[in-house]
A and B are shown apart, each in its own frame.
Chain A
């Protein structure tokens, strides 16, 4: 579970990444000063692309969860688990400034 005290802490995607569609997939790729990380390419799901877009501005776990629930037809528990997994992945890849 996402620690309750972190629900309102701010996070944002670091600079130096571009998102674009390639065939039927949405991809994140490093550009400019991050461009040497050639292997670091992430494929985003539809929800992933939505969250990524939201994370271009500072936001919170709370706000992201709410936005997801407002936009997609998904149960809260599932949305929460998916969001958590996604944010952990971004963290692990060092893509978030928090």
Chain B
């Protein structure tokens, strides 16, 4: 069975479709000992079709794999999926969190335009974050959103922006409740009490090492400068 290395885990998985095989190919590893095995059944694919309304077998297989992977990562490998666009700047990763359609992708494109080769997109849509030796590491993976922005790489998380669209660019310090809402809506929040506590524990630990800012931004170049400067400066209460 092929083994893929994703989020520093060796995953034994046999793709069913050419679509998934192609998407995952860059993550193939020669290592032999799997950390986990994932298999997707007809029922799993039917479930994803029903949930999303998407009828493409490959796409639904891919979503089913990702759902299972997120579950295993949360419960067995101290990690989480964060719906966000992650950019790397000066060796540190920054995640932009917002509901779909707010403009995460537009904003990270702005960073690329403004800061050029100094920054790169680690994952444009569905990065995995794991706590390893007390550090929170963001991992690129094959699930990169419709624009398919991202690389097979990893970087320590240093900051999170909660993105809002606005006329004027500004940053501010969000309340705990705002952070909480934004984060749980950006991950798979399990139904069980145990699962929910696990997610909240993870986020709490993550937040001790991560600066979180609210970023109100428009689509002009200035937005990227304001965002970057906000992270570099100390909090203003």
Kindly identify which residue among A22, A31, A36 contacts B180, using a CB–CB cutoff of 8 Å. A22
Report which of B175, B189, B197, B207 forms a contact with A38, defined as CB distance below 8 A.
B189
Q: How long is the Cα–Cα vector from A66 to B207 in the complex, in angstroms?
A: 38
Q: In the complex, how many angstroms separate the beta carbon of A46 from the nearest chain B beta carbon?
A: 14
State whether B177 touches A32 (Cβ < 8 A).
Answer: no
**Residue A25 is within 8 A (CB to CB) of chain B in the complex:** yes
Asked if B196 and A35 make an inter-chain contact with CB atoms under 8 angstroms apart, the answer reads yes
Given contacts A36-B191, A38-B184, whether A18 and B196 have CB atoms under 8 Å apart is yes
Inter-chain contacts of B176 with A (CB < 8 A)? 22-25, 43
Is B193 a contact of A23 with CB atoms below 8 Å?
A: no
For the complex, is A51 an interface residue (Cβ under 8 Å from B)? no
B interface residue count range (under 10 / 10 to 19 / 20 to 34 / 35 or more) = 10 to 19
Residues of chain B within 8 A (CB-CB) of A18 are: 193, 196-197
Asked if B196 contacts A22 (CB within 8 A), the reply is: no
Is the beta-carbon distance between A29 and B177 smaller than 8 angstroms?
no
- Residues in B with CB closer than 8 Å to A89 are none
Task: State whether the Cβ of A20 lies closer than 8 Å to any Cβ in chain B.
Answer: yes
Q: Which residues of A contact B181 (CB under 8 A)?
A: 41
Q: CB within 8 Å of B: which of A13-29?
A: 18, 20, 22-25, 27, 29
- Chain B nearest CB from A17 CB (Å) reads 9
Contact of A31 among B196, B204, B207 (CB under 8 A): B196
Residues of A within 8 A of B192 (CB): 31-32, 35
Instruction: Name the residue of chain B whose CB is nearest to the CB of A34.
Output: B191
Chain A positions within 8 Å of B204 at CB level: 22-23
Per-position 1/0 for B173-201, Cβ under 8 A of A: 00111011100110001111100110010
State in angstroms the CA–CA spacing of A18 and B196 once bound together: 10
- Asked if residues A29 and B196 are in contact (CB atoms below 8 Å), the reply is yes
Measured in the bound complex, the distance between the Cα atoms of B192 and A27 in whole Å is 16
Q: Which residue of A lies closest to B197 (CB)?
A: A20
Residues of A within 8 A of B191 (CB): 31-32, 35-36
Q: Hey, which chain B residues are within 8 Å of A36, CB to CB? A: 191
- Chain A residues whose C-beta falls within 8 Å of the C-beta of B175 in the assembled complex: 25
28 contacts between A and B (CB under 8 A): A18-B196, A18-B197, A20-B197, A22-B176, A22-B180, A22-B203, A22-B204, A23-B176, A23-B179, A23-B180, A23-B204, A23-B207, A25-B175, A25-B176, A27-B177, A31-B191, A31-B192, A31-B196, A32-B191, A32-B193, A35-B189, A35-B190, A35-B196, A36-B191, A38-B184, A38-B185, A41-B177, A43-B176
Binding site for B on A (CB under 8 A): 18, 20, 22-25, 27, 29, 31-32, 35-36, 38, 41, 43
**Besides the known contacts A41-B180, A41-B181, A41-B184, 5 further A-B residue pairs in the complex with CB atoms under 8 A apart:** A20-B197, A31-B193, A32-B192, A35-B191, A36-B191
Please provide the 4 A-B residue pairs with the shortest distance between their CB atoms, ordered closest to farther. Answer: A35-B191, A31-B193, A23-B176, A25-B176
